A and B are shown apart, each in its own frame.
Chain A
């Protein structure tokens, strides 16, 4: 049972994707730039690469007492194993995001808001698939209001090596634009349905 006012976010994937960095950037945006409270914990196996790994972020207006995510309101999946293992924990009405090329979803809980984005493919197009996590963060900034978008931009910039700031900024905006256009087309579709 999450405490009042706490947002629980679970990010899953495999080692080497920058899953922990993703959680860290999100928590940093909330803590340092939004001036709220956040914790980020991680879980991973013994493998340096390829093992299942997750990062758990809690964002709150108040001090966070218990740092484990138990029933996430937001679930971001960057691996099939991560999705299969954790989807049941997503609360009714929760937000589900996955990487189109890495995860196959079947039946989704109807109350969930579900989005997919080919984050890894976009990152590859930008020159380095390692930036898929940053594309994902840009996307998250468009489809949720977890943290301020400028806070997230700042957190990305201050978390990546100086040499890669520009490409990471591009990756972030690529994800954000995709999210914005997805929202627009959904809105149109919804409108169309209403009119019909």
Chain B
């Protein structure tokens, strides 16, 4: 165990590597995964970094197993994650559902590539945004974070773990091939400057412990395997004791709990930055790598006298509905670039509720969006608006 968990310093590293370092810095000590372009570099770095810090790396036989293994590790009391891309993300959905139902903290990093199916394995897309929201069956709320740089891959991975521990659920990092493979400056702060949140443990004796009885924050304290609480954990609909109960009333209670704990804290979870928005007539609303295109586009538009601003979404799920509703009343147009043919823009339209024009800048994938396309969309939207 010669290595340090927090590699304080300045680096020129890619996003996949930064994701790995963020995870280690916040205390991740278990990684189970299956290699897949363009997420392989996360696994590769984990495979030698985790043993250095006393953790476990295991390459599983597939992504079904990877996702199941990190849930198991989490119940073993260890912060755990996996990384994948499109096809693997699809396979993980089953056990992401188990993680949601059993309220298991863990982190899944999806370095998106173009699909469907094998698609363009080495090239970028943002086509899994709705799969992130609804890919597991049943009804639930999810948290998805979207980094737009290697530095954010580091910072947001830390946040992903903290949110997963705080709210007890799998948190998704919806990265993409360009963010994952792009090298850029990454500053890793000293260990004492890294915020680390860990799951609440039960404070009552085992005979009084009800594993799914929520605390005042809506989240139940979590015992780990070996703590002596002898809890039962099941993917069946269960009551506060964790016992399966097959009826509509228990279903309603359980679903309300896993939904409310996120909805009630949406304000604390949602994160975005407003850039050049003070006098903006049009707002480009962007997430992930498309933020980079959008930032250039806004700078170019401003250069041409167009009052454009940028809303940079750092989280996409839960969707910042209130902010968008308010924004739609203040600007004449919302423009969303995304590397799909219209996914998050549906949410944007829904939240804007007709209060301003909403324009999509679509791209089917394989490349990032050219800033010129966004500038054009802003111009034409303002003309029509």
A interface, CB within 8 angstroms of B: 1, 3, 23-24, 27-28, 31-32, 37-46, 64-68, 70
Q: How far apart sit A1 and B368, CA to CA, in the bound complex (Å)?
A: 15
Q: How far apart sit A61 and B370, CA to CA, in the bound complex (Å)?
A: 22
The answer to whether residues A66 and B292 also contact, given A44-B122, A45-B122 and a CB cut-off of 8 A, is yes
Which of A24, A42, A44, A65 counts the most B-chain CB atoms under 10 A from its CB? A65
The answer to whether residues A67 and B182 also contact, given A3-B299, A28-B12, A31-B12 and a CB cut-off of 8 A, is yes
- Are B12 and A38 within 8 A (Cβ)? yes
Q: Does B293 contact A (CB under 8 A)?
A: yes
- Are B184 and A43 within 8 A (Cβ)? no
Contacts of A32 in B (CB 8 A): 10-12, 185
Besides the contacts A66-B293, A66-B296, what 7 more A-B pairs have beta carbons closer than 8 Å?
A: A31-B184, A32-B10, A38-B184, A40-B12, A40-B182, A45-B122, A68-B367
A-B contacts counted at CB < 8 A amount to 61
Can you list 9 A-B pairs, Cβ within 8 angstroms, ordered by A? A3-B296, A31-B184, A32-B10, A38-B12, A38-B184, A40-B12, A41-B178, A43-B122, A70-B370
Q: How far apart sit A137 and B13, CA to CA, in the bound complex (Å)?
A: 19
B interface, CB within 8 angstroms of A: 10-12, 121-123, 178, 181-185, 292-293, 295-296, 299-300, 367-368, 370-371
Q: How far apart sit A24 and B17, CA to CA, in the bound complex (Å)?
A: 13
Q: How far is the CB of B35 from chain A (nearest CB, A)?
A: 13
Residue of A with least CB distance to B366: A43
Q: How far apart sit A184 and B10, CA to CA, in the bound complex (Å)?
A: 38
Q: How far apart sit A31 and B292, CA to CA, in the bound complex (Å)?
A: 19
The answer to whether residues A65 and B292 also contact, given A32-B12, A39-B183 and a CB cut-off of 8 A, is yes
Q: How far is the CB of A51 from chain B (nearest CB, A)?
A: 10
Q: How far apart sit A43 and B367, CA to CA, in the bound complex (Å)?
A: 10
- Are A65 and B184 within 8 A (Cβ)? no
- Are A46 and B11 within 8 A (Cβ)? no
Q: How far apart sit A193 and B88, CA to CA, in the bound complex (Å)?
A: 64
- Are B121 and A24 within 8 A (Cβ)? no
- Are B182 and A46 within 8 A (Cβ)? no
Contacts of A42 in B (CB 8 A): 181
Contacts of B296 in A (CB 8 A): 3, 65-66
Contacts of A39 in B (CB 8 A): 182-184
Q: How far apart sit A50 and B350, CA to CA, in the bound complex (Å)?
A: 48
Contacts of B12 in A (CB 8 A): 24, 27-28, 31-32, 38, 40
Q: How far apart sit A140 and B296, CA to CA, in the bound complex (Å)?
A: 29
Residue of A with least CB distance to B9: A32
Residue of B with least CB distance to A42: B181
Partner among B121, B182, B185, B295 whose Cβ is within 8 Å of the Cβ of A41: B182
Contacts of B182 in A (CB 8 A): 39-41, 67
Q: How far apart sit A39 and B296, CA to CA, in the bound complex (Å)?
A: 15
Q: How far apart sit A42 and B184, CA to CA, in the bound complex (Å)?
A: 12
Contacts of B299 in A (CB 8 A): 3, 65
Q: How far apart sit A70 and B367, CA to CA, in the bound complex (Å)?
A: 12
Residue of A with least CB distance to B293: A66
- Are B371 and A31 within 8 A (Cβ)? no
- Are B122 and A65 within 8 A (Cβ)? no
Contacts of A1 in B (CB 8 A): 300
Contacts of A66 in B (CB 8 A): 292-293, 295-296, 368, 371
Q: How far is the CB of A8 from chain B (nearest CB, A)?
A: 13
Q: How far is the CB of B304 from chain A (nearest CB, A)?
A: 12
Q: How far is the CB of A179 from chain B (nearest CB, A)?
A: 24
Q: How far is the CB of A67 from chain B (nearest CB, A)?
A: 6
Q: How far apart sit A44 and B38, CA to CA, in the bound complex (Å)?
A: 11
Closest 8 CB pairs of A and B: A28-B12, A66-B296, A40-B183, A65-B295, A65-B296, A31-B12, A31-B185, A41-B182
Contacts of A44 in B (CB 8 A): 122
Residue of B with least CB distance to A56: B182
Contacts of A28 in B (CB 8 A): 12, 183
- Are A41 and B10 within 8 A (Cβ)? no
- Are A41 and B181 within 8 A (Cβ)? yes
Residue of B with least CB distance to A55: B183
- Are B178 and A67 within 8 A (Cβ)? yes
Q: How far is the CB of A76 from chain B (nearest CB, A)?
A: 17
Partner among B123, B183, B295 whose Cβ is within 8 Å of the Cβ of A24: B183
Partner among B122, B183, B370, B371 whose Cβ is within 8 Å of the Cβ of A46: B122
Which of B12, B121, B295 counts the most A-chain CB atoms under 10 A from its CB? B12
Q: How far apart sit A70 and B296, CA to CA, in the bound complex (Å)?
A: 13
Q: How far is the CB of B241 from chain A (nearest CB, A)?
A: 51
Partner among A37, A46, A67, A70 whose Cβ is within 8 Å of the Cβ of B292: A67
Contacts of B183 in A (CB 8 A): 23-24, 27-28, 38-41
Residue of A with least CB distance to B37: A46
Residue of A with least CB distance to B181: A42
